Amino acid sequence: MAAVAHRIATSLPLLKDEPGPNAERFDLESRLATLAPTLDLEAEIQRLRKERNAVILAHYYQEGEIQDLADHLGDSLQLAQAARKTTADVIVFCGVHFMAETAKILNPDRIVVVPDMDAGCSLADGCKGSDLAAWKASHPQHAVVSYINCTAEVKALSDVIVTSSNAEKIVRGFEPGRPLLFAPDRNLGAWLVKKTGREMTLWQGACVVHEQFSEKAIVQLREKWERTAGSVEILAHPECEAPILRHADFIGSTTALLNRAKASSAKALIVATEPGILHQMKRARPDVTFLDVPSEDAACGCNNCPHMKRNTLEKLYLCLRDLKPRLEMDSELMNRARVPIERMLSLS
Ligand code: 13P
Ligand code: SF4
């Protein structure tokens, strides 16, 4: 009964009784099933983080209860910077796999755990290292600029990594005339081309969350709230498609959107990104009405990142208690992937 309750609570698929090839998933499910419902998870997490000398890094798209427990809460760049600086023995990464990989690459001798190792990313999944290698080989004069939302294999083939916070500055920094490949997000890439005037050849990947926002819903929300609240602003992440970005009053990374929300004089803010960020926005501006944007299929709740939301408080507790699932990576791959990440950090 407890196992069923946990599966329902964590929206995980039912598993067979035997571990088989999905041993890590089976192991996590089994440990979840043994958790006492009366356990004070917050208190246990506080106790274990001290005992383990652990640091909890969390992205703004995590559930509010995880955000509230983080030592460092941030966007992709801030979390990479925090990982670079930490002296903790254990890094608990409450985000997705590519972010934890970045933390491990910057801390190869530390233990890096992720509450749910299946927390992936459609952008990273849509660009295999072998495919990027072939693309790069067919453009031998080009420098490769990769968005941090990519695998370690792709990072290892890149000249520099960027996030949505620093991409504009880094792209502008390339010598004029140097041809550029940009992977894997075509929407961020197209926005950068428009912003910088710099031609880039784009990999055709996209984020499953940001590409689904409904333009019609944004227009209707603006009309409705202009009538009701008087002043409305639309904030959007550059992973959104061009028709959504066209309506935006402000475009920026997750942290830039939060800062804009803090400073805005509008009475209502329509936020076209993953709604996890609303937890901090609402806390910072209780006087403002925040509206998230529905997807084309309003019934599906697709504006929530299914990968980010795999992490739960129960799984955070378990990974601190058992120090697993643990990220292990090939050291030669980490050495190669570290070079463009360090280059990004030095340019940020
Ligand atoms: P930032 O946190 O860098 O804005 O990126 C958003 C995102 O989609 C993370 O996966
Ligand atoms: Fe990847 Fe999009 Fe989820 Fe970010 S929101 S982790 S880009 S799928």
What ligand has the least distance to the C-alpha of 74? 1
Cα separation, 84 vs 86, in Å, equals 6
Name the nearest CA neighbour of 31 among 116, 120, 94, 97: 116
Which mutation among 254, 273, 274 tests ligand 1's pocket best, with the greatest number of atoms within 8 A of CB?
Answer: 254
Name the nearest CA neighbour of 151 among 212, 82, 98, 90: 98
Collapse the DSSP code of 266 into the 3-class scheme (helix H, G, I; strand E, B; otherwise coil) and give the result.
coil
59 ligand 2 Cβ < 6 A:
no
Whose C-alpha lies nearest to ligand 2, atom 2?
207
Which mutation among 123, 187, 293 tests ligand 2's pocket best, with the greatest number of atoms within 8 A of CB?
Answer: 123
* Count of CB atoms situated within 10 Å of the CB of 282: 14
302 ligand 2 Cβ < 6 A:
no
Contact between 49 and 56 under an 8 Å Cβ cutoff? The reply is yes
In this structure, which topology does domain 210-300 adopt according to CATH?
Rossmann fold (3.40.50)
80 ligand 2 Cβ < 6 A:
no
Q: What are phi and psi of 202, to 5 degrees?
A: -105, 135
CA distances from 156 to 150, 254, 256, 302, 339 (A): 10, 25, 28, 31, 8
What ligand has the least distance to the C-alpha of 309? 2
Q: Which residue has the tokens 């383990």?
A: 52
Cα separation, 154 vs 211, in Å, equals 22
Question: Which residues, in sequence order, are bridge partners of residue 146?
Answer: 161, 183
Whose C-alpha lies nearest to ligand 1, atom 3?
76
Does the fold of domain 210-300 match that of domain 123-206? yes
Cα separation, 209 vs 308, in Å, equals 11
Ligand 2, closest atom to CA 119? 6
Ligand 2, closest atom to CA 274? 5
Which mutation among 101, 149, 235, 304 tests ligand 1's pocket best, with the greatest number of atoms within 8 A of CB?
Answer: 149
Ligand 2, closest atom to CA 95? 6
CA of 123 relative to ligand 1 center, distance in Å: 11
Domain 39-120+307-332 listed as CATH 3.40.50.10800: yes
Q: Domain spans of the chain?
A: 39-120+307-332, 123-206, 210-300
In this structure, which topology does domain 123-206 adopt according to CATH?
Rossmann fold (3.40.50)
Q: What is the pLDDT of residues 10-27, one digit of tens each?
A: 444 444 444 455 899 999
Amino acid (one-letter) located at 27: D
Q: What is the pLDDT of residues 107-149, one digit of tens each?
A: 999 999 999 999 999 999 999 999 999 999 999 999 999 999 9
Low-confidence ranges of the chain (pLDDT < 70): 1-21, 298-299, 301
CA of 147 relative to ligand 1 center, distance in Å: 10
> What integer pLDDT is reported at residue 20 of this predicted model?
52
Cα separation, 308 vs 274, in Å, equals 10
CA of 146 relative to ligand 2 center, distance in Å: 15
Taking the CA of residue 175 as centre, how many other CA atoms within 13 Å lie in the half-sphere pointing to its CB?
A: 3
Q: With the CA atoms of 38, 10, 28 and 109 taken in that order, what torsion angle do they form, in degrees rounded to the nearest 10?
A: -100
> What integer pLDDT is reported at residue 129 of this predicted model?
98
Whether the ω angle into residue 184 lies within 30 degrees of 0, i.e. cis, is yes
What ligand has the least distance to the C-alpha of 97? 2
Ligand 1, closest atom to CA 121? 10
What ligand has the least distance to the C-alpha of 207? 2
Contact between 110 and 91 under an 8 Å Cβ cutoff? The reply is yes
Ligand 2, closest atom to CA 207? 2
Q: What is the pTM of this model?
A: 0.92
316 alpha-carbon distance from chain centroid: 17
The DSSP call for residue 3 is H
List the Cα angle 180/186/190 in 5-degree steps. Answer: 70
CA-derived radius of gyration, the chain: 20
Question: Which residues, in sequence order, are bridge partners of residue 161?
Answer: 146
